């Protein structure tokens, strides 16, 4: 079954649902333009409010503020924001996505709940596009939340119950698609429609991708978020023109069943926050598919080399998709943070050596890494240290 992917921006930290009221300051250049402010009740004094901007496929921290005794906060980036998608992370747990720049002064009023990791009944003022975007999330994220909970519950069901559950999930997927397509149709030419594309399968809804990209081609094409979808659409168009090839022949290797020249198997698995990540969503980028675990000493010693490669080549179209063979979620998450593995594509099913992806790839020892080309075909395997750097130098020289 195909599961719709979750938003990079809205779900980077936690599943968020915003029921937003819309309002504007009534002029294009308020006195406090370039400042993001608000009031957040339910937090301790000095809670962090981090501002991140979407650049080159990732979220980059650009500024940080703290809450005062009465919950107020104010952030004015040293470098004025360019028009595009940005994200506030409140107290390391609650995300709020904005479409804004230095000419606006978004103001967020919200109460932080004690029992979950998403906001409800928040109010965004001073940024029309941000308010419109939040309306979309308010309608689609409850459906996504239900879909993920249903998927997580599958393993506890009998075969008969799974059949019924799959039918229900198909209905949820159809409703997500319907909601997203309706939002796109009703808001043509608004940057917020880009967020709706992230819920849609590009092969099934290529027309919607083409329509949104065309409507924003002059007004928003300079933004990194637009560029990401344009590359994804262009890559899918190219892929559709190539005749179907037979599945790659598996090889009997000591570690790894696939070799250079084989097409990489897709991986669909949850990240640390329960959001579905797909290897195929990175088609159009050069991807290091890295199998590792927090308990694996050689893996941890290899991580600095991967981090170095990511920092050097990410802006040129390099991404890392990390598959962990952990069985303890806390140890997995702590290792990601401690080793500075800042890329968003981390997945694990918490089954240790029984990890579904590692078994499909025939992995018998870790660390094990495969470099996958923009076309989804494996370039090289068994890459570590200098060998990885050498391959990337060839590709990005």
Between CA 43 and CA 113 the distance in angstroms is 9
Q: Quote the tokens at residue 245.
A: 């090839």
Q: Is the peptide bond before 75 cis (omega within 30 degrees of 0)?
A: no
C-alpha distances out from residue 195 to 69, 87, 184, 209, Å: 34, 13, 9, 11
Average pLDDT over residues 355-373: 88
Buried residues in 356-369 as b, exposed as e (16+ CB within 10 A): ebbeebbbeebbbb
- List, for residues 260-312, the tens digit of each pLDDT value: 888 888 888 888 888 888 998 898 899 999 999 999 888 888 899 899 999 99
User: Are the C-beta atoms of residues 95 and 26 closer than 8 Å to each other?
Assistant: no
Confidence (pLDDT) at 4: 42
Q: What is the pTM assigned to this prediction?
A: 0.59
User: What integer best gives the mean pLDDT of the chain?
Assistant: 83
Where is pLDDT greater, at 266 or 249? Answer: 266
Question: What are 156-208's pLDDT values in tens digits?
Answer: 778 778 788 888 888 988 999 999 999 999 999 999 999 999 888 887 888 99
* pLDDT, position 120: 61
What residues contact residue 185 under an 8 Å CB cut-off, 6+ apart? none
Name 294's Cβ contacts closer than 8 Å, sequence gap at least 6: 300, 324, 326, 328, 331, 332, 334, 335
In this prediction, residues 81-101 reach a mean pLDDT of 91
pLDDT level of residue 100 (50, 70, 90 thresholds): very high
What's the N-to-C CA distance of the chain in angstroms?
39
Q: Which tokens sit at 216? A: 């924003």
DSSP 80: P
Residue 97 in 3-state DSSP? strand
Query: Which two tokens mark 363?
Result: 């992995």
Overall CATH class of domain 21-135? mainly beta
268-396 is classed CATH 3.30.540.10: no
Using H for helix, E for strand and C for coil, what is the string for 167-200?
HHHHHHHHHHHHHHHHHHHHCCCCCCHHHHHCCC
**Domain positions in the chain:** 21-135, 137-240, 268-396
Phi/psi at 305 (5° precision): -70, -35
pLDDT at 41 over 70: yes
Q: Which pLDDT score, from 0 to 100, does residue 46 have?
A: 94
The three-state DSSP-derived secondary structure of 1-29 is CCCCCCCCCCCCCCCCCCCCEEECCCCCC
Per mean pLDDT, which of 97-101, 299-303, 382-386 is the most reliable? 97-101
DSSP structure class, residue 377:
B
What is d(CA 156, CA 167) in angstroms, rounded to the nearest whole number?
16
CA nearest 291: which of 362, 339, 395? 362
**Residue (of 121, 147, 136) closest to 85 by Cα position:** 136
pLDDT in tens, 321-342: 999 999 898 899 999 999 899 9
In the numeric block, which tokens belong to residue 149?
């909970």
Task: Look at phi and psi of residue 87 and say left if phi exceeds 0, alpha if psi is from -120 to 50, else beta.
Answer: beta
Rounded to whole angstroms, the Cα distance separating 259 from 236 reads: 23
What's the average model confidence in pLDDT over 134-161?
Answer: 80
The pLDDT of 21-46, averaged and rounded, is 74
Spatial distance between the Cα atoms of 369 and 377, rounded to a whole number of angstroms: 14
Mean pLDDT of 200-226: 91
What torsion, rounded to 10 degrees, do the Cα atoms 15, 20, 24, 30 define?
-40
């Amino acid at each position: 079954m195909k599961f719709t992917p979750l938003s990079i921006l809205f779900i980077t930290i936690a599943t968020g649902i915003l029921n937003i009221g819309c309002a504007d300051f009534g002029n294009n250049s308020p006195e406090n333009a370039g400042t993001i402010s608000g009031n957040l009740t339910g937090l301790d004094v000095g809670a962090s409010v981090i501002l991140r901007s979407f650049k080159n496929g990732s979220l980059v921290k650009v500024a940080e503020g703290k809450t005062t005794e009465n919950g107020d906060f104010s952030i004015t980036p040293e470098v004025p924001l360019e028009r595009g998608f940005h994200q506030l992370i409140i107290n390391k747990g609650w995300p709020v996505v904005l479409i804004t720049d230095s000419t606006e002064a978004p103001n967020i009023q919200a109460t932080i709940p004690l029992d979950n990791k998403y906001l409800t009944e928040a109010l965004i003022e001073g940024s029309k596009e941000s308010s419109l975007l939040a309306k979309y999330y308010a309608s689609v994220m409850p459906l996504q939340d239900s879909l993920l909970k249903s998927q997580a519950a599958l393993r506890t069901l009998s075969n008969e119950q799974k059949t019924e559950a799959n039918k229900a999930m198909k209905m949820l997927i159809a409703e997500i698609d319907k909601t997203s397509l309706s939002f796109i149709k009703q808001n043509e030419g608004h940057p917020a429609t880009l967020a709706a594309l992230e819920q849609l399968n590009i092969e099934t809804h290529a027309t919607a991708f083409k329509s949104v990209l065309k409507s924003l081609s002059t007004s928003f094409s300079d933004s990194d978020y637009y560029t990401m979808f344009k590359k994804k659409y262009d890559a899918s168009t190219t892929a559709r023109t190539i005749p179907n090839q037979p599945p790659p022949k598996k090889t009997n290797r000591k570690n790894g069943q696939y070799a250079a020249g084989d097409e990489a198997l897709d991986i669909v698995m949850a990240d640390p926050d329960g959001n579905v990540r797909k290897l195929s969503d990175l088609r159009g980028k050069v991807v290091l598919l890295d199998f590792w675990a927090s308990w694996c000493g050689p893996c941890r010693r290899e991580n600095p080399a991967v981090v170095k490669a990511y920092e050097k080549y990410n802006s040129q179209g390099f991404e890392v998709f990390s598959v962990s063979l952990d069985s303890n979620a806390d140890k997995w998450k702590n290792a990601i943070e401690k080793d500075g593995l800042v890329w968003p594509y981390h997945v694990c099913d918490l089954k240790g050596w029984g990890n579904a992806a590692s078994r499909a790839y025939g992995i018998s020892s870790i660390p094990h890494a495969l470099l996958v080309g923009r076309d989804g075909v494996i370039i090289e395997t068994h890459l570590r240290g200098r060998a990885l750097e050498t391959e990337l130098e060839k590709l990005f020289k």
